[in-house]
Amino acid sequence: MRGPARNAVNAENYYIVATAPSDPALRVKISGPYLTRQAAKADLEAAISEATGIDPSARRYRYSISLLESRKPGVIQHMASHS
């Protein structure tokens, strides 16, 4: 049975996505979900900083905000929930 927090997440949400410079097909959701593009944009710098703190090679990645169909958290939120 789903709890109230689960139902609050839309099927489509905004995520901060990292794209590998050597392979544009390699895209990873690093942060999100966000209900609005403005919310994702407000968190963009912090998410990039946190990603580069985890993996210094993340500086070379290209970051964007994308509207994606997913209910799963980004890498940063996933790691935080397991620490």
Confirm whether 5 is domain-assigned.
no
Q: Is 32 left (phi over 0), alpha (psi -120 to 50) or beta?
A: left
Could you give the number of structural domains in the chain? 1
Confirm whether 1 is domain-assigned.
no
Confirm whether 2 is domain-assigned.
no
Per residue in 37-51, pLDDT (tens digit) is 999 999 999 999 999
Res 46: pLDDT? 95
Confirm whether 4 is domain-assigned.
no
* Residue 40 structural domain: 10-81
Residue 77, exposed/middle/buried by CB under 10 A (0-12, 13-18, 19+)?
A: middle
Confirm whether 73 is domain-assigned.
yes
Whole-prediction pTM:
0.79
Res 3: pLDDT? 39
The three-state secondary structure class of 36 is coil
Confirm whether 34 is domain-assigned.
yes
Res 70: pLDDT? 84
